[in-house]
Structure 1
Amino acid sequence: MRSGTAEAKSEPAGRSLSAWPQGSRWLSSAWTRRPLCSALLSSQMPKRKGVASLSSLCLGSVAQHMQGVWVKDYSENYLDEYHFRYIMGPFNELAGCLVQDLLKQLGESRRLTRAALHLLLVPHLRELSLRACPSLVSNAIAQLVATRCNNLCSLDLHGCSRVSAAALTDLLEGLPLLTGLDLAETQADIRVLSAVGSCCRRLRQLDISGCRRVTPEALLHLAYDPTAHVPCCPALRVLLASGIEPQGRAPDLVGALAFLLLALPSLEVLASSCVMEALCLIHTQCFQDPRATAPPGFPSLKELAQHRQGGQTGGRDAWLTLPLKRVDEVEEPFLTTLCAVCPEAEEVTVALNDGPSACWDSLAWGRLSCLVLHCTGPRGRGLAETVPLVRSLGPRLRSLTLHGFTYDDELSLSALLDSCPSLHTFSTHLCTPAEPPWTPDGDAELHDWAPNLVHHSFPQLQHFSLALSSTQGPLPGQHMAAVLQAPGPVLCHLQELSLAESQVSSSTVRLLLTSDGPLRTLNLVGCRDIHRRDYDQFIRTVQEQQLQLDITWQ
């Protein structure tokens, strides 16, 4: 290994699935008084271990012998004396993607050292993630990255809080090719964001979550350079800025977010708890609001809005729409505003109180495919209230999450599922109402209702989670137990299966182990009908058949 020109001193030292009917088959397990997550099953089950690729075997060997072989000479002779602009050695011949994989292996196994990191910062790296070793990333390491890795397109410094704002600024000014940047939980401040805005014009994704030194005014520099009077980051699509809200939710943060929404033409995701307030400010176009006042050197919100509307003076009749595709933390009364300002929204999280439901049928959900509804009130809402909304979304819905609803209508869950034939993800945590609508004498009347109400086999479903909490004693018969039969040809993508605290039998588990498919994880915790001898037999089967499957039981 030969070292190049010496320049300076070195630095000091899944998918979890719950049982529900699929097509003509009834797949379930007993529900208990505690939350239960069991599973829909697939005919393609545990995947057999494949033969490791030659590259992964070689990288594993290099990682295992990294300290004793590959970095020994550098550690003993160069580490504490100099750092070098480049190092001629074996890692210069390794493809950049393999260098990143090696860094990941060393970081995750906690075998990455300062010397190894020095050697792996090669000039041909296109992606670099240092989140696995934040304690090793210092100002000097940042300087090494800036000196050696000028071709980076993606840089992840998540949690690297040892790097000063000045060092981050110098680093980012030398990386004009970045399209992805993660600065979450770092010392990023207004200087750093100014460097990002003025130098990283190709940036498409930025994470500054948890950066305590980022102020609302600092955010403006991502979208506009007040010195050159030019817009910045025209390609930025995703900006994650949660956890940087000033104490008291200062009004200037709302104005800053509105500025970003108007000034960044490609922005599709803006993660912050004040986004909905900013959207309301834009929708009402109350640009005399104190929150709409921009600092000196920046254009006003009114000027930005007029530019987005093509120079029209407009007013409320001239609708101004934004390309946001994901909006979180939307309160129900503001759904109409959201639909008006963000007609292209695809993912929405809505908080529901205990008040009357909004007229969901009249909302323009043209592209909505991912919906999260959670009840924030103490009483919750009946699951049946969501059926009209889900039916209006129809086959477009790919993901549905419902939390905090009461299971007061035994037909509502089947009605929901029957309205979503294209689901990829379904998750819900239901509670029984304070006064259950069922009686013991009425159990038999509805015993056979479920298999006839769901008419889809959900072939695209990858995640199905169902939890039910009951505080009123055992549930009636039609809700409690059903037979887990041999699975049909559905759910080919199932990877994680939880049958925790269910009445699944050992014969059913053995049936799962005899099939081939992508299942990786099987949770049998708290299953009273599974005993130690059964578990030992399952483990032997996994070993003998070389299944790529982890089974948990106790």
Structure 2
Amino acid sequence: MPQRRAVPTLTSLCLQSLAQHMQSLWAKDYSDNYLHEYQFRFLVGPFNDLACGLVQELLRLLGTSRRLSRAALHLLLLPHLRQLSLTACPGLANNALGHLIVLRCQALRVLDVGGCGRLSPAVLVDVAEGLPRLRRLGLAHTQANLQVLSAVGSCCRHLRELDVTGCRKVTPRALRHLGYDPAERSPGCPALRVLLARDLEQHAGDGDAVAAVAFLLLALPCLEVLAHGALQDALCLLHSGQLGGTEDSEGFPSLRELARSRGAAGEGAALTLPLRQLEEVQEDALSTVHAVCPQAEELSVWLGDNPGSSGLRELQGWHCLSRVTLGCSGRRGRALAALLPLAQSLGTRLCALTLHGFTCWDPLSLPALLASCPGLQSFTAELEAPPDPHTRQEPPEEEEEEPPAPPPRWATDLLPRGLPRLQSFTLSLAGPVPASHGPVLSSTLASLLCGAPRLQTLRLLALPFPLDSVLEPALPGLRELRELSLAGSRVCPGTVWHLLGTEGPLRRLELSRCPDIHRRDYDSFLHEVRKQRLELDITWE
């Protein structure tokens, strides 16, 4: 399935030549003469004529080859650059570089300085004030604080996405400045659609995080994604309508005033928000959250320890859902079969389903679940295997060795409609699988692989039954497969050799902890990859 290494394109060869000569020629001249003269603007070179996308690709090449220096980075801060990410080189990002970005890159629409902890708050303020055309700004794990977010809220009027994840200095009051400018008494960031504010520290005496998140939900009318630990509680607060006592003495409007401007005039009045994505919702809050966010399309839920609770039934009424993540937080877990009514209710609308901690008591529940969602594009399941009541406590007596039986031909009709849109499939099983489960699960995988022609990523992790008879017949039909992980599963070297001899776009093969793959097998695979000049990365340990 892997392909031979392709002949490099002329564009890639030119970029590689530029990357090779950057340090020895242009960067050296810049370092010797201009690096510390920050009023100097540009040095003429072939990189000046590169389109924005090629400049970004050149930066990537220099970074992956560890040839990106501060001088080279300065040279590539070109006036026509529209996207710039410094996440791969946070050590090079200092205050001087921040000033150069503002000075040289006025056309920037996307800037990500995530992890660049050496940029001071004052420089981040200059960035927000000096680049008002930004559409996306990444400030994760930086020194962003109240002054920075105040500058973002008042100056970045076109901002659509902002990431302040892990910023220790971002307080609840700082978040409020994204939605309102108390100095000008005007709304802030009116176009903001995505705000990522995970892992923020609690700051005692600086306001309530729940009230601050509720403030943002009301003050930002276009907000579709708000990732914050207090989101669920803020939604419950807004649904209750008990918004008294949230007045602010520093120029911010109260929650009651904001709710009135959003059409919720009195106590208990209905309020709906345009949120499309909701994270970490608890099962007992589903009905409240749904009432406030009826247009939610992506949802992650933690189910409790009571199988008789109404959470799964409640989800059947969410008519816009297309991406669902369900996790079992209780010690007893849930049966996989309990999801069948929900899957049948969502039907073809469901394009992504992720499951954690469900127990596969009935092996037929997995194909029934997949068959109920023929529109799936992504499926991930980390399942628990039930105990096998017939497991022998004593090892069997040694018997005379018999000739190996021919590989079984698994039935492939468990998914009659197939999964024609499926691109990613991950299945892992924790614990030994009862003997009766193996044939059904093997037939399920055989049916899946025969009915998923667009599959690009396949991960079969820690499956304790042999996969050779499932994989070998299906490999020729998987013409778009790019990543295959069999970590911890039972697969023989012959299947890998069959894989190496099949044409296709496979780029990555994971064989870690496969009990039937040994060091000599791995060395032979690598030798064949080098001999055939295959574009394939094999991992084994």
TM-score range, shorter chain: 0.7 to 0.9
Q: 1:414 to 1:296 in 2, by over 3 A?
A: same
Deviations 1:477-516 (A, max 9, x none): 5464462241177655432111233332333223323333
User: 1:361: how far off?
Assistant: 3.5
How many angstroms does 1:532 deviate by? 5.1
- Report if aligned partners of 1:294, 1:301 keep a CA contact under 8 Å in 2: no
Partner of 2:366: 413
Task: Give 1:20's aligned residue.
Answer: none
Query: For the Cα contact (< 8 Å) 2:26–2:45, is it kept in 1?
Result: no
1:439 is displaced (CA, Å) by 7.4
Runs of 5+ unmatched residues, structure 1: 1-44, 441-446
Partner AA of 1:360 in structure 2: L
Cα distance between partner residues in 1 of 2:531 and 2:473: 23
In structure 2, what is the equivalent of residue 366 of structure 1?
A: 319
CA shift, 1:472, in A, is 8.4
Mapped to 2, the partners of 1:109 and 1:383 lie a distance apart of: 46
Q: Does 1:319 align with 2:306?
A: no
Match of 2:66 in 1: 110
Write the mapping of 1:157-196 to structure 2, written as runs, cut at 5 A: 157-196=113-152
Q: Hey, what's the Cα distance between the residues in 2 that align with 1:301 and 1:52? A: 59
Cα 1:486/1:320, change in 2 over 3 Å:
same
In structure 2, distance between residues paired with 1:365 and 1:552: 42
When residues 388 and 451 of structure 1 are mapped into structure 2, their CA distance, relative to the original with a 3 A threshold, is same
Range with greater deviation from structure 2 (543-552 or 251-260): 543-552
CA RMSD of aligned residues (A): 2.6
Distance 1:358 1:248 in 2: 36
The 1:511/1:460 distance shift into structure 2, 3 A limit, reads farther
* In structure 2, C-alpha distance between the alignment counterparts of 1:246 and 1:379, rounded to whole Å: 32
What SS does the aligned partner of 1:233 have? coil
Q: What CA distance in whole angstroms lies between the structure 2 residues aligned with 1:294 and 1:416?
A: 50
C-alpha contact 2:23 2:72 (8 A) present in aligned 1: yes
Q: Which amino acid in structure 1 is aligned with residue 221 of structure 2?
A: P
Distance 1:437 1:340 in 2: 45
Aligned to 1:236: 192
User: What is the CA-CA distance between 1:420 and the residue it aligns to?
Assistant: 1.5
C-alpha contact (below 8 Å) 2:137/2:159 kept by paired residues: yes
Partner of 1:217: 173
Deviation at 1:258, TM superposition (A): 0.7
Q: Any idea what SS the aligned residue of 1:427 has?
A: strand
- Equivalence for 2:397: none
Give 1:226's aligned residue.
182
Query: Equivalent residue for 1:301?
Result: 255
CA distance in 1, matches of 2:93, 2:140: 14
TM-score (norm 1): 0.83
Q: Secondary structure at the match of 2:184?
A: coil
Deviation at 1:198, TM superposition (A): 1.0
Give the direction of change, closer, same or farther, for the CA distance of 1:184–1:414 in structure 2 (3 Å limit): same
- CA–CA distance in 2 between the matches of 1:184 and 1:224? 21
Matched, 1:150 2:112: no
Question: Cα deviations across residues 46-97 of structure 1 (Å, max 9, x unaligned)?
Answer: 3443332222221112212221122122212232455413434443222222
Which deviates the most, 409-418 or 330-339? 409-418
Kindly state the Cα deviation for residue 307 of structure 1 after the two structures are TM-superposed: 1.4
Residue 494 (1) aligns with residue 447 (2): no
CA-to-aligned-CA distance 1:192-247 (integer Å, 9 cap, x gap):
11111111111011000111111101111111111111111111111000011406
The answer on whether the counterparts of 1:459 and 1:492 sit within 8 Å (CA) in structure 2 is no
Q: Do structure 1's residue 460 and structure 2's residue 413 form an aligned pair?
A: no
Work out the CA distance in 2 between the residues paired with 1:249 and 1:495. 52
Are the equivalent residues in 2 in contact too, given 1:438–1:476 (CA < 8 A)? no
Q: Does 1:98 align with 2:54?
A: yes
Rounded to whole Å, the distance in 2 between the matches of 1:149 and 1:488 is 49
Give the whole-Å Cα distance in 1 for the aligned partners of 2:174 and 2:78.
32
Higher normalized contact order (CA 8 Å, seq sep 6+, divided by chain length)? 1
The equivalent residue for 1:506 is: 493
Partner of 2:385: 432
Whether 1:522 and 2:509 are equivalent positions in the alignment is yes
In the alignment, the residues of structure 2 paired with residue 112 and residue 422 of structure 1 have an alpha-carbon distance, to the nearest angstrom, of: 44
Aligned AA (1:352): L
Question: 1:153-190 CA deviation, whole Å, 9 max, x = no partner?
Answer: 11111111111111111121010110010011111111
Normalised TM-score (structure 2): 0.85
In 2, Cα distance between equivalents of 1:201 and 1:101: 29
- State the identity as a percent: 54
Which moves more between the two structures, 120-129 or 177-186?
120-129
SS of the residue aligned with 1:527? coil
Name the CA distance, whole Å, in 2 between partners of 1:472 and 1:424. Answer: 27
Distance 1:137 1:336 in 2: 46
Distance 1:75 1:262 in 2: 50
Equivalent-residue separation in structure 2 for 1:528 and 1:360 (angstroms): 38
**Contact (CA 8 Å) 1:459, 1:491: kept in 2 or not?**
no
Q: How far does residue 415 in structure 1 lie from its aligned partner after superposition? A: 1.6
Quote how far apart the aligned CAs of 1:117 are.
Answer: 1.7
Call closer, same or farther: CA 1:362–1:156 in 2, change over 3 Å: closer
Deviations 1:95-121 (A, max 9, x none): 222222212222233221121122111
- Residues 460 and 493 in structure 1, CA contact (< 8 A), matched pair in contact too: no
Question: CA 1:481 to 1:295, structure 2 compared with 1: closer, same or farther past 3 Å?
Answer: farther
Distance 1:490 1:258, change over 3 A: farther
Q: Kindly provide the amino acid, as one letter, of the partner of residue 413 in structure 1.
A: L
Q: Is the 8 A contact 2:217 2:273 kept in 1?
A: yes
Structure 2 residue runs without a partner (length 5+): 393-407, 442-464
Amino acid across the alignment from 1:469: A
Match of 1:206 in 2: 162
